[in-house]
Amino acid sequence: MTDSHPVALITGAAKRVGARIARRLHAAGYDLALHHRASQSPMQALVRELEERRPGSVLVLQCELADTDALAHLVADTVARFGRLDALVNNASAFFPTPVGEATPAQWDELFASNARAPFFLSQAAAPHLRANGGAIVNLADIYGERPLKNHTLYCMAKASLVMLTQSLAKELGPEVRVNAVAPGAVMWPAEGKAEHEKAAMLASTALGRAGDPDDVAEAVRWLLQEARYTTGQVLRVDGGRALNI
């Protein structure tokens, strides 16, 4: 393995949007360190797919992001394997309702661990390597980090923290490192499903009148990493204009 390929570390990369981001960056020439928590089977399938295209281009990393001590090891293991780190994509995210009156400290900890704490400490560990290579960070934010979603106060708070982290790190790590975020709209329905009338109502409030695709998000991430050379501290909404009506 030579150091001719840029290297990206992606959290929550085994499934859904994370896997689409992995495929898009791999196709764009990145070698990848792909993190997952417990998605062994889909991760194995993704790695086989990518390794068939370019052998030796993927490293699998498994850990619980709530384990803060493990986060620095994700970065260290990536650099040990590939010799460099050019991009960090903080994609992993917990999402579930926490109605006021029922929310628990454990739910607070779980939502903040993946959506705020892990992105900060991973960014901190990655910063020296990103600085050395003029790299970039992309965080997967949410329009609900700027607008509240009923019964999801803790999630909204955690994503609001991620938005502020994006802006603050852009100042802290510039000029060498660019830091941006992508805030998706309806590009993939929740894994636990969503009622058809709720889907219809959501799309009706979207300026483009339709759902997006996870590849729209993946391409936004790639663009921010590779081409947005004068963009930092920004949240790019990939939501079909939905935030206009929230």
- Angstrom distance (rounded) from CA 236 to CA 239: 9
| Structure letter (DSSP) for residue 216 | H
Catalytic residue flag (residue 155): yes
- Beta strands (DSSP E) in 165-231 are 178-184
Catalytic residue chosen out of the listed positions 30, 144, 155, 230: 155
Distances (CA, A) of 158 to 109, 111, 195: 10, 7, 25
Contacts of 71 by beta carbon, 8 Å cutoff, 6+ apart: 63, 65, 118, 121, 122, 125
Distances (CA, A) of 16 to 11, 37, 55, 101: 12, 14, 23, 31
- Angstrom distance (rounded) from CA 118 to CA 92: 9
Beta bridge partners of 10: 34, 89
Say whether the peptide bond before residue 175 is cis (omega within 30 degrees of 0).
yes
Catalytic residues: 155
